[in-house]
Amino acid sequence: MPTTPIKRLLFAQGGRCFFCNDLLSAAEVSVEHLVATANGGGNSDENCVVCCRTLNRLLGRMSLKEKLRVVLNQKGQFKCPNSGVNRKSAGHYHVMVSPTIASEEQLAQVLADLERRRTARPRTVKTLSSTINVLFKKQLSESEIASLLDQLQATGVISVSGTKVSYTHAPSGA
Ligand SMILES: [Zn+2]
């Protein structure tokens, strides 16, 4: 087992930065105390990680809470395991956290929009997807848009053949 703290940590992390996962060169590696020593953090491996020197410098004496925020701000993919059921009441904090399955309400909005478009309805999967995206002010995830398309097909509103979309019901008034 490697003996110096930096070698132990490098070994444990596969030679990669704890935060960005890049391979660390000898010049770049530094030991980051998760709870800063200035805040009472210890030198044990428990409290230490190796990471890029530049990030270590940036994190400096931040509290663990502030560090978490810095790290999470860089994580585009992180999602809490919300079912999406309580999304409405969650307020603006969860605007960017999207459930995978589109709601009935969203489906109704899409149907109303298509109704308004009458003969100007999108004719390809691509344009329909971007129409839906714009309708929801680009707040939907790709999986939600895919889910809406699935539901439109499942309810028989559209049928998809290759990249083409056709509408089962003739537009009213056309
Ligand atoms: Zn890094």
Q: Ligand 1 centroid vs 8 CA: distance in angstroms?
A: 17
Task: Look at residue 98 in the predicted model and tell me its pLDDT.
Answer: 47
Ligand 1 centre to CA of 16 (Å) is 8
* CA–centroid distance, residue 112 to ligand 1 (Å): 48
pLDDT in tens, 29-86: 999 999 999 899 999 999 999 999 999 999 988 999 999 988 888 866 667 777 665 5
Distance (angstroms) between ligand 1 centre and the Cα of 36 equals 18
d(C-alpha 131, C-alpha 47), whole Å: 49
Residue 1 confidence (pLDDT) above 80: no
The predicted pLDDT at position 94 comes to: 46
Q: Residue 164 belongs to what H/E stretch?
A: strand 164-167
CA 50/CA 30 separation, integer angstroms: 5
Three-class SS state of 66: helix
Residue 139 alpha carbon to ligand 1 centre in Å: 30
Q: How far is the CA of 44 from the centre of ligand 1 (A)?
A: 20
Q: Which residues pair with 150 in a beta bridge?
A: none
Q: Is the pLDDT of residue 154 over 50?
A: yes
- CA 21 to ligand 1 center in whole angstroms: 6
18-32 pLDDT tens trace: 998 899 998 999 999
